[in-house]
Structure 1
Amino acid sequence: MTSFAVAHLRNVTMGPDIVAYLTAIDATLAPFQGQFVVHGSDKQELEGSWAGDLVVISFPDRQTARAWYASPAYQAILALRTGNSEGDIILVDCVEDNHRAIDILLA
């Protein structure tokens, strides 16, 4: 089942370290079939306020997403991001086909 790495990034300091991170991250994703789905796209706030940017990367499954995050290649560049931004990062799985909202009550 598809799994997503979701990042809510705030207070990003654009500079050489972030540029180096952005330059290197695609190569870390490739062996794990990671693909950007959302990457700081223009947003429209419908309710509340949203500070920061949203990044969503898809992976074939949760195990592959974890393997990417733990990989030596990604760990080698991680500090370039964490040292220049604040953020929350989660892994979350896609729902099954034909999922309905009420399904969470039946689980």
Structure 2
Amino acid sequence: MTAYALAHVRSVELCPDIVEYLERIQATMDPFGGHFAFHGGQKDVVEGSWDGDMILIEFPDLEAVWAWWACPEYQEIKHLRTDHMVADIVLFETLAEGYQVGETAAKLKTLI
């Protein structure tokens, strides 16, 4: 199942390190089939608030996203981002094909 790395970027200091990070990150993702699905573009907040930007990177599966996250090539450049950015980052897998929210509702109903 497809998996993602999602970053909620709360603040970033634009500087040469960030530019270098952006120049180098794709090469770290390529061996794992990763690509940007969303990168700080236009978004419409329709409920609540969303301060900052969003970055979404898609991978073929959860194993690939974890392998990228831990690979030496990414670890080598990670500090270029973390030294200048505050972000919440989560790695997750999509739901199984055929997922039905009604089944979750039925399970929860038995708990209340």
Place the TM-score, normalised by the shorter chain, in its bin.
Answer: over 0.9
Cα RMSD after superposing both structures: 1.5
Structure 1 residue 104, shift from structure 2 partner: 3.1
Q: Which has the larger radius of gyration?
A: 2
Counterparts in 2 of 1:10-89, with a 5 A limit? 10-89=10-89
- Structure 2: 5+ residue runs without aligned partners? none
- In 1, the alpha carbon distance for the partners of 2:68 and 2:43 equals 27
State the AA in 2 paired with 1:4: Y
Shift in alpha-carbon separation, 1:47–1:76, aligned structure 2, 3 A? same
Shift in alpha-carbon separation, 1:88–1:25, aligned structure 2, 3 A? same
Cα deviation code 1:61-80 (max 9, x no counterpart): 11111110111110011001
Count of residues in Structure 1 that have an aligned counterpart in Structure 2: 107
Same amino acid, percent of matched pairs: 43
Shift in alpha-carbon separation, 1:34–1:103, aligned structure 2, 3 A? farther
